[in-house]
Amino acid sequence: MVLTAAVSAGKGTIDPAYNIPEMSKSLDLINVMAYDMHGAWDDYTHHQSGLYAHPLDEGDNLYFNVILDREGSSPRPDRPGHPALRSMLDPRQPAGHRLLRSCAPAGRRWGLDQEPWHAWLHEICYMQTTQDWTVVNDPAMNEPYTYYFPMNNIWCSYDHEASVITKAKYAKDMGLAGTMVWSVETDDFHGLCHSRTYNLIKTMVEAFGGGTITEPPTLPPPSTTTRDPSLPTLPPSTTTTYKPPPPGEHCSQPGLNPDPLDCTHYYLCSVGINGGYDETEDHCPEGTLFNPQSFVCDWADSVCHLEGVCLNDC
């Protein structure tokens, strides 16, 4: 089993909420959600997943990029703090298209999920193939932005092949464990805008690990076979209904079973080969009790607030 965590990328959250050295002792991978650095909640345009700070950034904005986020959040270079591929839509009315320009609040609902503050990558790239969108590669940043003012003054920051290659190479050069994305289904999964499906995710994998992902061959359509009518008729299929074993001393059903007289432990029950239950006793950690309603070890205070349960332990 691999234990992972997706953690905030905001310094204002990291400093008071995370004990990074202690978390690193217990977690195999720490995925830093280095996206949503900026968005429709801002009153100015900026990139939502910048690798480096913009030269005009100041104050808190100096921390809203992958480089300073990593340095501020984890002293261990083997942890995978890295950007994701979420593409944000900023459907506002910017005074000019460049970064760090003031703009009006988001208002128009957009995209498949009808949120007023983002569009997914496959939506952005498809619109670029059907409309005359302008793509800008700002010389101060590694990531592009795009806009199409005839369509409700839409301005959008996102990632493309060149920017994900730069980020993947940065993760590799820093000795990180890999990269993560948010999210798989928002890449160009139909290959409408590229020569292959999931192009950005595959590009990131190739840049980090080297080599080229080989596309699987196209499978032929399934064939249809007609049964020979001269063959004998097959007997009708039968359906067998499963019946659990009768209740035992501690087990009334497969899975976790509470002890109504002692909530400090519980029983894991499975159907045995002899037709009854095989049971394994396990104890809840100190300060917790087995919750007979949710079937988990829960905080004792929470369990004791339930009516009519664990009366011997509360």
Contact status, residue 34 vs residue 81, Cβ threshold 8 Å: yes
At residue 145 the predicted structure's pLDDT band, cuts being 50, 70 and 90, is confident
Q: What is the pLDDT of residues 70-113, one digit of tens each?
A: 443 343 333 333 333 434 444 444 455 677 677 765 555 555 65
Do 13 and 96 sit in the same domain of this protein? Answer: yes
pLDDT at 278: 92
- Is the pLDDT score of 166 beyond 80? yes
Do 293 and 173 sit in the same domain of this protein? Answer: no
Residue 280 lies in a domain: yes
Mean pLDDT, residues 26-51 taken together: 82
pLDDT at 165: 92
Do 203 and 260 sit in the same domain of this protein? Answer: no
Residue 288 lies in a domain: yes
Q: Which of 174, 209, 244 is the last residue of a domain?
A: 209
Residue 43 lies in a domain: yes
Across the chain, what does the average pLDDT equal? Answer: 80
Mean pLDDT, residues 169-189 taken together: 86
Task: Give the tokens for residue 166.
Answer: 């730069």
Residue 279 lies in a domain: yes
Do 156 and 101 sit in the same domain of this protein? Answer: yes
Residues whose CB is less than 8 angstroms from the CB of residue 129 and which lie 6 or more positions away in sequence, other chains included: 192, 193
- Closest of 58, 49, 69, 68 to residue 9, by C-alpha: 69
Distance CA 204, CA 164 (A): 6
Do 203 and 280 sit in the same domain of this protein? Answer: no
Do 156 and 281 sit in the same domain of this protein? Answer: no
Amino acid at 204: M
CATH number at residue 133: 3.20.20.80
- Is the pLDDT score of 9 beyond 90? no
Residue 220 lies in a domain: no
Do 47 and 149 sit in the same domain of this protein? Answer: yes
Domain containing 284: what range? 255-304
Model confidence, pTM: 0.62
SS3 for 197-228 is CCHHHHHHHHHHHCCCCCCCCCCCCCCCCCCC
Do 109 and 187 sit in the same domain of this protein? Answer: yes
Residue carrying the six token digits 């501020």: 72
Residue 225 lies in a domain: no
Do 185 and 278 sit in the same domain of this protein? Answer: no
Which residues pair with residue 102 across a beta bridge? 44
Kindly give the pairing relationship between strand 29-33 and strand 4-7.
parallel
Do 175 and 63 sit in the same domain of this protein? Answer: yes
Residue 145 lies in a domain: yes
CB atoms within 10 A of CB 27: 15
Omega before residue 49 within 30° of 0, cis: no
Do 178 and 290 sit in the same domain of this protein? Answer: no
Residue 214 lies in a domain: no
Counted domains in the chain = 2
